[in-house]
Structure 1
């Protein structure tokens, strides 16, 4: 997927945190530690540095959800991170994002920390960020 397509799909999926721009995706994709996984209507961007992986973002078109796409991307992420030498993976998710939290819990991620009032919505409200960890 091109950076413009990634940004367009990301904008369909996120308002808080704000969606990423095509330029931000292009910069990440040009970075050697980053890797992109795709499904029709979805993508996952991750990176591995030393023995740690980070799931940077996961987006599935709202019209294509509940079809297993995110779960498949999560499984591919774990496999790709291990293949790149990662032993542990991290991600952060908004505490109020119940569907994402359920997906992550179902795929073995556990809470490792909380960043209070980390996310700021356009309406001025805030939400905590949960830091999750997965042993690969």
Structure 2
């Protein structure tokens, strides 16, 4: 993702997260930390941005910062492709685990994360601006790291 992608990304952000959308300034700040501690990417169909995702990595821990797909392109593999790319980047950067928060009222997202091997860790009450709880989830990347076989 680059600054040139932000108009399309902000459109998706506001449509996907109307109650607690990130501001453009927040996303610009995230992009400024690329590639040092952040990795942001977009998914495109033709010339149109249809999804985006972001990852933060510090030491051996990664955090999925955001992932969103236009409603018309959901359940078509776009979110899964973005998640695959985030997990691959986390492994490339040496992370041993990945964390994320997901809205408690978003079962489709929770199901996707579970398909990727994330497990529920806890609950953050009233985490989102509208008072919705967040479910925290984690995934161990130990077996996905290229050096994992040598360590066993």
TM surpasses 0.5: yes
How many angstroms apart in 1 are the aligned matches of 2:11 and 2:32? 19
Name the count of aligned residue pairs.
131
Cα RMSD of the aligned pairs, angstroms, is 1.2
- Per-residue CA deviations over 1:93-130 (Å, capped at 9, x if unaligned) read 11111111111111111011111122232xxxx22111
Kindly indicate whether the alpha-carbon contact (under 8 Å) linking 1:6 and 1:22 is maintained by their aligned counterparts in 2.
no
Partner of residue 132, structure 2: 127
Partner of residue 109, structure 1: 118
* More deviation, 36-45/54-63: 36-45
List gaps (5 residues or longer) in structure 2: 45-49, 142-152
TM-score (ref. length: structure 1): 0.90
List gaps (5 residues or longer) in structure 1: none
Partner of residue 13, structure 1: 16
Q: For residue 22 of structure 1, report the CA deviation from its aligned partner.
A: 1.4
Q: For residue 10 of structure 1, report the CA deviation from its aligned partner.
A: 0.7
Partner of residue 88, structure 1: 97
TM-score (ref. length: structure 2): 0.81
Structure 1 runs of 4+ with >6 Å offset: none
Which structure has the larger Rg over C-alpha atoms? 2
Q: For residue 36 of structure 1, report the CA deviation from its aligned partner.
A: 1.0
Could you say which structure has the higher strand fraction? 1
Partner of residue 146, structure 2: none
Partner of residue 66, structure 1: 75
Higher relative CO (Cα under 8 Å, sequence separation at least 6) belongs to 1
How many angstroms apart in 2 are the aligned matches of 1:15 and 1:104? 22
How many angstroms apart in 1 are the aligned matches of 2:23 and 2:6? 8
